[in-house]
Structures are given as structure tokens and as C-alpha cells.
Amino acid sequence: MPNINDYVDWRGDLSFKKSPVNDVDIVILSQIVLNDLSHSVPKKGGAALKDCAEKFFSAKSRRKKPGLIIPLTIPLIFKKIADTARFGGLILSKYVEDIDESVAVQFSALTADAPEIKTRFVIYSGTDDTIVGWRENFNLIYKTPTRAQTEAVKYLENAARDFDGKIIVLGHSKGGHLALYSTVNCNAETEKKIQRAVNLDGPGLPECDGAVAAYLTRQKKILTILPQSSVIGRLFEHGEDFRIIHSVNEGLFQHDAFSWEVLGTELVGESGFTADGTGVDNGLRVILDGMDDAEREKFVEGLFGLFYATGCSTLTELSLSGKEIFKAYFKADGETKKALNRTLLKILSNKYLRRCIFETMRSMKNFTKKDEETLAALANGKDA
């Protein structure tokens, strides 16, 4: 099945001037910001993507491993596009990464300029391997704005302030949600410069979000792209246009953008969502609708309290710490246990949610020795 890697082989020799920006380009750009670019993109000014990639692949410049949920191909496609006429000359700048457990924030963003078409890409990162990043995601179910949402609006307005061309805002997963949120909530001067915003399988806007009027006027610029069994991307409300595409993976792992099928310059479409995907979406909505904000907060506080009690800081570490999670649960106070039990029982009583959880756990166990060897090779600056 052709995917974004195959697209680079086929289309990489053509500039954006010769072949206009398409949705496959958007998917590729959404992935590179998941790399740690803090030592690769200049703090001031910008540098060509090919030069940033060269720095990134030096042993001293990369600090963190991709982790359990980040495809191992993320660093490799960065190297692949660096050698192309299409992507290698993009000017990267304004890279930020803000991870702070004390205020539950994980925010990362990047700007990429294509001077020949006077276009600026504002790219938000999805959730990384950190537990704090996932904590912030869960916070969305009971409060908004989150710190990442606020930072996303500031980032977009700053990126637009010194630019007089067209802007395309984009992101995958939480990054897609931030692309949506910042487009809806930015000031009018910034919004005029936005040509389009693309949310790649990211959540919509929570019902408690206050920017309804702006959303109704700006949603025509927004496109959400969802695989046929999307779970994460169907959370919350989507009033904007959306497109259903084909993934070769099952269930939650359709979220992996490398599993999305590509044909020419397009993502292969699907006619509708699968029964399992719809079942999970409906199940989550019923559970959340049956909880008030206080109950939602208690559940999130309790769940992540267990995770932090293990001493783990990443999902990779957490996946290897099952015993510590159970120990933390038995040490929790009665109210916390009650909040966790009540919600977890509702989740497990839904056959679609139960199947999704078990399939996810089974897939997580496939973090094999080969994967670890690949990560080690990447850490040493070698090709996998």
C-alpha cells in the first residue's frame, strides 16, 4: 500500500510552484514537528530544512527517543524529505517546545516557509510520549482553554504578524485540534491571512468552548481529515467540513498517519465510518454526557494520579510498570477509587470500548526487541 513515504519518492523532485500544495504534503509536514528540533532549528531567524535535518542527525543534536506511540518512521521521513527539491528548501523557524508537569502542558510548534509560493505553514505538534502531554489532553473533557490552546493562539498570531503571504495552519492529533482552535480564536488580522486550516485526526471543540460565533464564520476555512475507524479525531464537536480516508491499520492505530493510503497527490477516501469506530464514538459520548465537570475532573485527577505515583514520566515507561499501577491503585483513597471504578466500569461495559482497549493493549505489547534496536540506531545517528 502506497503511503507518505512512497509519495516523497514520486513527488519529491517537484517544487511547490510546479505542483501545488496538497493534503499529502500537509500530512508529511505534520509529522516532522514530532522530532525534537530544539538543537536543529535556529533560535533566531531560519534555516533550510535540509540543513536543520543534517544537524538533527548528528549524534549531539537529538535528545529524546520517539517513544511508544510515536512511529519509528518519524525521524526517518525527516531525513527523507531533506534530500528533495520539494521540501529541502523550506525555511524552518520559530520552533518552540514547552513541557511543564507543574501546569500540565505539552506544547510544540514550528513554522515552515515556502518562499517561492509566498506561503507559511504553521505546524502544531501532536501529543508526544510524555504522560503530562496526555494529561493535558484529558483535561479537555472538563475545562478549556488549556495552556496549550492559549499558547497556540499566541503562536499563530506571532507567526502571522511578520508575514504578508498566505498561511496554512495544520497539525496531527492534538496538533490538529490546536490548528482548529487557534484558527477559530485568533484575531481578525491573523484570520485574514489564513488560507486554510487542516486538522488531521484531532479532536474538535469541546461544548464548553466559548468561541461559537467565530467558529461559525471561520469554519469554511477548516478541513478535518479522519480515518474510517477514527477514535481520537471524533472526540467533541466538528461543524467544519471533514473527509474520511482509508487506513490499513485497525482501531486506535489508524491514528498513525503512516498507515493512511496515498494515491498520487491524494489520500485515498472512504465512503463512511466503520461500525466499530462509530460504536466507540457513541459510547464515549454517552459516558461523558452522563458526567458533570466535577465528576470528569475527579476521574482525570485519579487516573493520572496513579500514573504519576509509579514514578514514570512517559508512556513507554508506564507500559512496563503494570505492577506499580496496581500498587498505586490500592494505596489511593476511597473517593479516588470510587471515581475510577464508576467510570472504568461504564467503559468496560461497552463492547466497542472494551474491544478498542484490548486491541490497543495487545498492539502495545508489540514493542519488540527489533523496535528497541531501531531506536538505539536512531539515537546513535544511524539509519534504521
Q: How confident is the model at residue 367 (pLDDT cuts 50, 70, 90)?
A: very low
CATH topology of domain 4-273: Rossmann fold (3.40.50)
pTM of the model: 0.88
- Of 31-35, 197-201, 212-216, the range with the lowest mean pLDDT is 212-216
| Helix residue ranges per DSSP H, 87-208 | 131-139, 147-161, 174-185, 188-193
Residue in 34, 344, 292 with CA at minimum distance from that of residue 143: 292
Q: What is the pLDDT of residue 160?
A: 98
Grid coordinates representing 266 are 491524494
Most confident of 68-82, 96-110, 115-129: 115-129
Count of alpha carbons within 13 Å of 281, Cβ hemisphere only? 21
Residue in 75, 11, 172 with CA at minimum distance from that of residue 379: 75
Break the chain into its structural domains and give their ranges.
Answer: 4-273, 290-349
Q: For the segment 147-177, what is each residue's pLDDT rounded down to a tens digit? A: 899 999 999 999 999 899 999 999 999 999 9
Average pLDDT over residues 51-77: 75
For residue 314, pLDDT over 70 is answered with yes
**Which residues lie across from 112 on neighbouring strands?**
92, 121
| Helix residue ranges per DSSP H, 102-169 | 131-139, 147-161
Q: What is the pLDDT of residue 213?
A: 62
**Which residues lie across from 222 on neighbouring strands?**
197
